[in-house]
Amino acid sequence: MKGEELDQLYKDCVDFWGIERQIRMMQEECAELIIAGSHYLRKRDTGLDELIEELADAQLMINQIKEHVGEEKVKDMMDVKSNYIKRKLDERKGDK
């Protein structure tokens, strides 16, 4: 699935299950992603596969919430945050 079809799926999920339930699911998926990150760093045999799966699960839930709150608002904030990170990175690189 791509583009508009995915956007519609995200909207349909929130409409069907409700925003509160989907935010709770997003929280759970983010918690599972944290654990998968730990497993990956500890070099578990399944660590990479687990990390990839949980990244996908978390991203799907995040995309549903972004669709609900307004993707443009999130993109605008990502620009602000990206510029901040770039500034900090440039500062640190200058220190070396």
pLDDT the model gives residue 96: 66
Task: Please give the backbone phi and psi of residue 44, each rounded to the nearest 5 degrees, phi first.
Answer: -65, 150
Cut 0.85: pTM above it: yes
Cα-based distances in Å from 83 to 3, 19, 22, 62, 71? 26, 30, 29, 21, 18
| Other Cβ atoms closer than 10 A to 13 | 19
Question: What averages of pLDDT result for each successive group of 10 residues across the chain (96 residues)?
Answer: 92 98 98 97 95 98 97 97 97 84
Summarize pLDDT for 63-88 with one digit per residue, the tens: 999 999 999 999 999 999 999 999 99
Single-letter amino acid code for the residue at 22: Q
pLDDT the model gives residue 23: 98
pLDDT the model gives residue 94: 86
